[in-house]
Chains A and B, each alone.
Chain A
């Protein structure tokens, strides 16, 4: 079944893949911190969409779409255009390169991100396993 990105259903599908992945569990075994992704609108998208993942020691404890009016204080806040996320999930753009070129912006402890390259790589690998459709 294909899931629309970005959506609550897609976030929950990724949570399932993450929690089934031994490679992610191993790579992110020391990771602590929830991640909040803002997907900025492009094409037929009319508003930004926020997805939130509670990532803790190699597991995803919760994932959902966060409505714009809900205030959250995540450890890590990412933002970028829909097309940037799409390129990352299709394996066409390295997520660290996206961060270094500011195509994907990050607020949070950047040292922690730089110490967890394999966790980031495995997270993206899991995202590529979610059958995804994108807005036109």
Chain B
């Protein structure tokens, strides 16, 4: 028994105008200062006002948003009483919008209690719109909420299956001028979602096609998207959403556990972290006792895969080749992390990666010592041989 849930999706040129058809009185836009500066918030406000809605803006979302930010956004929602909450921005903004929505509908709830085992009351006060402005997080199509516990220096993988946006709007205007570095980081995030969505232990027939199509689109279009090709960016926007739908309805795996731990400890972009670990985790997983599905992905990409090991090896090389082409780091050393800093935080990293819920759905779950070794191999760029 399992479920398949996706938001209503509006995509393509002028998709934003769909906001003009919404019914409601008040909309709270949850976003960040960059979205205000770029004029994106004004465009969203104009569309909402055309529908007759009053708007208010919470533009305080920071990178790696904290539990406190989510609480502040919810406080604003309680005061404004919106019937729509509109998340606008990258994954951080969309995640805070989801958390704001849950806390608005469930006053007094501890954000850390937003988890798949809790029954949450939602859609009684408001509904949620997600408008992504990157080409990778896929947050517009997932129920996942990643917030940072600044005291414990760890990322909290939150979310309930109910915390899925009602509506996702993919308008290419919002990614047309995305900085190349953000495009590269978020593009690797999308690739990790798609590959882990296809290969984790909860994969299913409903998500397989979405994941494979996303993988093909990303390999075909990510480099051109980073060079600024508008058509490629639009295809990447779709790929990211497909990958989000896939992993929201299967789950993630080990690259996310390792990436969450690293990103929280060293304050590095999520997509860069998970993308860096992806090839290492493919190498690790294919050496385990359980069957993997990397060969099928390799075949879909037209890579030699006469055996699972050969397919995995070629997939790893394709991922690293793509990362090189778009200027992404291949090692923790390349990321600018000093070996002494890694060693000083290794036990924190290992503890957080082990406790990450994404570890559970990995096809091969590392022991504590293997987690340590994975971090060290990723530092040095050593192919995984254990």
Contacts and interface: CB of A to CB of B under 8 A. Distances in A.
A113 B360 CA distance: 12
B117 A106 contact: yes
A20 interface: no
B36 to A, nearest CB: 34
A9 interface: no
A99 interface: yes
A121 B115 contact: no
A117 B368 contact: no
B115 A110 contact: yes
Interface string B353-368: 0111101100001011
Contact of A116 (B2, B202, B355): B355
B209 to A, nearest CB: 21
Given A26-B368, A106-B117, A110-B118, A100 B161 contact: yes
B12 interface: no
A118 B360 CA distance: 6
Contacts of A101: 1-3
A25 to B, nearest CB: 11
B213 interface: no
Contacts of A120: 360
B355 A118 contact: yes
Given A111-B112, A116-B355, A118-B355, A103 B1 contact: yes
Nearest to B355: A115
A94 interface: yes
Grouping DSSP codes into helix (H, G, I), strand (E, B) and loop, the B interface class, with mixed when no group exceeds half, is: loop
A70 B202 CA distance: 39
A55 B117 CA distance: 21
Given A101-B1, A103-B1, A121 B113 contact: no
Given A103-B1, A118-B355, A118-B365, A96 B360 contact: yes
Given A111-B112, A121-B360, A100 B365 contact: no
A61 interface: no
A116 B354 CA distance: 9
Contacts of B112: 111
Given A97-B2, A103-B1, A121 B365 contact: yes
Contacts of A115: 355
Contacts of B201: 94
B112 to A, nearest CB: 5
Nearest to B112: A111
A94 B202 contact: yes
B291 interface: no
A93 to B, nearest CB: 9
B160 to A, nearest CB: 9
A25 B202 CA distance: 26
Interface of A: 23, 26-27, 94, 96-97, 99-101, 103, 106, 110-111, 113-118, 120-121
Give the top 10 A-B pairs by smallest Cβ distance, nearest first.
A117-B360, A110-B117, A114-B115, A100-B116, A101-B1, A117-B357, A99-B117, A115-B355, A111-B112, A110-B115
9 contacts: A26-B368, A27-B354, A97-B2, A99-B116, A100-B117, A101-B1, A101-B3, A117-B359, A118-B354
